[in-house]
């Protein structure tokens, strides 16, 4: 994201309370990542960063412990090198584990409470059997929280851009929603047992009420180019374009016709096409 646009966004959103830096890429690779966090933190905005933590060296970890990030969600989609490296690039399992340990030591040395570190796993068929092992790994690494979520979306909307057809196929093959329910229950219950044994907080996906999404009322998601979308779960604005905050300004987009129509549809019994395949909409995120 262009720095001038980012700074302008924060100026426009003077009462902003929370900011998530995430995306299909790695936010820490932005050349002004630490400046971006510091600018938000100075305004008392709680900054959450979703990262693979694979691109950091010691210097970056030192800065991470002191730049003002509130919550660091480290994407670790497996408890073994084989599974993690089959699911996530770059293939640097050992480095991520080393970085987690080093970050903990740096925080201890600095007496830093933040960032709160969470191991985040998107559960699929391939890593389902490693949920309990991930909780135990968190304990060994000194991480107190594990958050497990389902694949956010099945990419089933009729107007899905062709570029994402492969993502739809992969999701269809890997989603635990079509997995044997007994197998799912068995591994979830082992993970809960591990969580009790290890004293690690475990957040599991919802099994709850469908249609409870407040994302387009509570916040705005913008791509690196400034294009607006209703939420971060759809990842790319082409799937539900709601305007251009870089060109028109954030409030013009927020109060615009496209956003209003999207919210109306989401609140109705006939939600937008893109929401029908969403795990949050189904209460299973």
Residues numbered 195 to 214 that lie near ligand SF4 (CB under 6 A) are 213
Which of 16, 14, 20, 4 has the alpha carbon at shortest distance from 221? 20
Query: Which residue lies nearer to ligand SF4 by CB, 122 or 195?
Result: 122
Q: Which of 231, 242, 245, 246 binds ligand SF4 (CB under 6 A)?
A: 231
- Minimum separation from the CB atom of position 230 to ligand SF4 (A): 4
Query: Which range in 95-103, 120-128, 199-207, 276-284 contacts ligand SF4 by CB under 6 A?
Result: 276-284
Q: Is 234 near ligand SF4 (CB under 6 A)?
A: yes
Segment interacting with ligand SF4, rule: CB under 6 A, options 10-18, 30-38, 132-140, 272-280: 272-280
Examine residue 220 and tell whether it contacts ligand SF4 (CB under 6 A). no
- CB-nearer residue toward ligand SF4: 191 or 275: 275
Half-sphere exposure for 165 (CA within 13 Å, toward CB): 3
The region of 80-88, 129-137, 177-185, 277-285 touching ligand SF4 under the rule CB under 6 A is 277-285
CB of 237 to ligand SF4, least distance (A): 12
Contact in structure between 47 and 73 (CB atoms under 8 Å) = no
CA distance 271 to 157: 12
Cβ neighbours for 284, distance < 8 A, ≥ 6 positions apart: 150, 177, 205, 206, 207, 208
Minimum distance from residue 225 beta carbon to ligand SF4 (Å): 19
Looking at 3-11, 43-51, 164-172, 228-236, which segment touches ligand SF4 (CB under 6 A)?
228-236
Q: How far is residue 261 CA from its own chain's centroid?
A: 26
Q: What are phi and psi of 71, to 5 degrees?
A: -140, 130
233 lines the binding site for ligand SF4 (CB under 6 A) = yes
Positive or negative CA dihedral for 178, 181, 183, 188? positive
Q: Where are the alpha helices (DSSP H) in 142-256?
A: 165-174, 181-198, 215-218, 245-248, 250-254
Which residues in this chain contact ligand SF4 in the complex, by CB under 6 A? 213, 215-216, 230-231, 233-234, 266, 274-275, 278, 280-281
């Amino acid at each position: 994201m262009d720095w001038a646009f980012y700074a302008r966004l924060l100026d426009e959103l003077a009462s902003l309370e929370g900011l998530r830096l995430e995306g299909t890429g790695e936010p820490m690779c932005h050349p002004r990542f630490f400046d971006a966090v510091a600018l938000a933190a100075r305004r008392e905005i709680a900054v959450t960063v979703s990262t693979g933590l694979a691109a950091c060296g010691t210097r970056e970890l030192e800065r991470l412990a002191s730049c003002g990030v509130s919550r660091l969600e480290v994407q670790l989609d497996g408890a073994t090198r084989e599974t993690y490296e089959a699911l996530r690039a770059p293939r640097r399992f050992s480095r991520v584990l080393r970085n987690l340990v080093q970050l903990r030591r740096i925080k201890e040395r600095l007496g830093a409470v933040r960032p709160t570190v969470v191991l985040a796993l998107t559960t699929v068929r391939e890593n389902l059997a490693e949920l309990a092992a991930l909780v135990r790994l968190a304990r060994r690494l000194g991480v107190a929280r594990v958050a497990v979520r389902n694949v956010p979306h099945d990419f089933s909307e009729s107007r899905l851009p062709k570029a994402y057809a492969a993502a739809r196929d992969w999701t269809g093959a890997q989603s635990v929603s079509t997995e044997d329910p007994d197998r799912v229950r068995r591994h979830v219950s082992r993970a809960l047992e591990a969580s009790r044994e290890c004293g690690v907080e475990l957040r599991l996906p919802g099994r709850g009420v469908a249609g409870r999404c407040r994302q387009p009322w509570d916040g705005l998601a913008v791509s690196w180019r400034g294009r607006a979308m209703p939420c971060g779960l759809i990842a790319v604005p082409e799937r539900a374009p709601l305007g251009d905050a870089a060109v028109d300004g954030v409030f013009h987009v927020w109060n615009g016709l496209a956003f209003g129509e999207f919210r109306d549809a989401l609140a109705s019994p006939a939600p937008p096409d893109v929401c029908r395949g969403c795990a949050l909409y189904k209460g299973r995120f």
